[in-house]
Amino acid sequence: MNEETIFIGPEALPALQTLLVRPTVSRVFVLVDANTRRWCYDVLRPYLPENHHIIEIAAGEEYKTLASCEAVWSQLTEERTDRHAVLVNLGGGVVTDLGGFCAALYKRGIRFVQVPTTLLAQVDASVGGKTGVDFQGFKNQIGVFQEPTAVCIEPRFLLTLEPRQLKAGYAEVVKHWLIADAKAFARNRRLGIFTDDWTPIIRESVDLKQRIVAQDPLESGLRKLLNFGHTVGHALESYLLTQPGREILHGEAVAAGMICETWLSYHRGLLSAEELDQVETFLFTVFEKVQFITLETEAIAEFALQDKKNAGTTINCTLLKGLGHGVFDQPVTLTDIADSLRYYHRL
């Protein structure tokens, strides 16, 4: 995606309005979930054509499924939607991932625009062209790479979030610092999460991610850096999704995963004890500890066997070779992952 198609700040929604009134756009559909329909749609509505059509799905990771996609495709089909339509995805990571996937496959592809409403989606999920849904309990198991026509990031939407959701998105910001910007981590770990203006942080994170994605759009190499914290984090998130009442947010799982994978980096001699302590101390000032019992660590680790970075039976992980410098394709074992979870549990 070109930088010109990512709009951040007050110009984002007017840019969307300009895009949607082009003669090449036949119809406009807006994908929302129950939360963004209630809290965000009224902000977006003045920038939409009068005759747009709303498609609503249930809110929550448990609805990021092929069944939800089928419901979206059914509505598009019932409306006799042609290939010149545009799907505007208004929501967090579930909506932007699922909406992009639906658009990419409907009639072999219609255009879509991401309008992310959570911090996680604004700094990560909506940028980079990854789309997909969960399948049989595994995160993003089915998906395609497909760039949106535009990403329109309006920080005002963050005012609708509960603190827990805001913190969940912050995990992806910290991830960007740890893999590629040691100075930003050193500066911000003393400030914490509180800020009156998220725009500079969003812009910085999006720019960093875009620089990586531009060099490796299909994740064959360098882009794997962006998966730091996600090998263990996805395994933990997926396992807890199978435990009714114990589900956690994606960013909470990534924060735990970053501590585990930072410990693995230290265990392999890639990081100093002081650097490990800095990461742990900072993350625990922002995130509460994810609860599980020691006897569950092997079961959690098993979920990493389905990680998309794996090569055959080898589990590949992104680790840190010093703060601000990620290294990808680092082979780890189920025992390594279970040991890292036990370490996290003891903290």
Strands 315-320 and 326-332, bridge-based pairing: antiparallel
Does residue 246 carry a catalytic annotation?
Answer: no
Does residue 89 carry a catalytic annotation?
Answer: no
- Choosing from 108, 162, 190, 346, the catalytic residue is 108
- Choosing from 111, 139, 189, 223, the catalytic residue is 223
Contacts of 145 (CB under 8 A, 6+ apart): 129, 130, 131, 217, 218, 219
- Choosing from 175, 189, 230, 309, the catalytic residue is 230
- Choosing from 111, 189, 209, 309, the catalytic residue is 209
Does residue 230 carry a catalytic annotation?
Answer: yes
> If DSSP codes are grouped into helix, strand and coil, which group holds residue 307?
coil
- Choosing from 27, 64, 111, 130, the catalytic residue is 130
The dihedral region occupied by 110, where left means phi > 0, alpha psi between -120 and 50, and beta the remainder, is beta
Does residue 227 carry a catalytic annotation?
Answer: yes
Kindly state the tokens that stand for 93: 């990571």
Does residue 172 carry a catalytic annotation?
Answer: yes
Does residue 250 carry a catalytic annotation?
Answer: yes
Helices (H), the chain: 12-20, 34-39, 41-44, 66-78, 93-105, 119-120, 163-180, 182-188, 199-215, 230-241, 250-267, 273-286, 297-302, 334-346
- Choosing from 61, 154, 219, 261, the catalytic residue is 219
Dist. CA 54–CA 129, nearest whole Å: 23
Return phi, psi of residue 15, to 5°: -65, -40
Kindly state the tokens that stand for 212: 């990586």
- Choosing from 111, 139, 224, 234, the catalytic residue is 234
- Choosing from 35, 89, 188, 227, the catalytic residue is 227
Does residue 52 carry a catalytic annotation?
Answer: no
Please choose, from the candidates 221, 249, 253, 240, the residue with its C-alpha nearest in 3D space to the C-alpha of residue 318: 221
- Choosing from 61, 147, 154, 172, the catalytic residue is 172
Q: What is the CA angle 188-346-191, rounded to 5?
A: 10
Strands 111-116 and 86-91, bridge-based pairing: parallel
Does residue 111 carry a catalytic annotation?
Answer: no
Q: What are the catalytic residues?
A: 108, 130, 172, 209, 219, 223, 227, 230, 234, 250
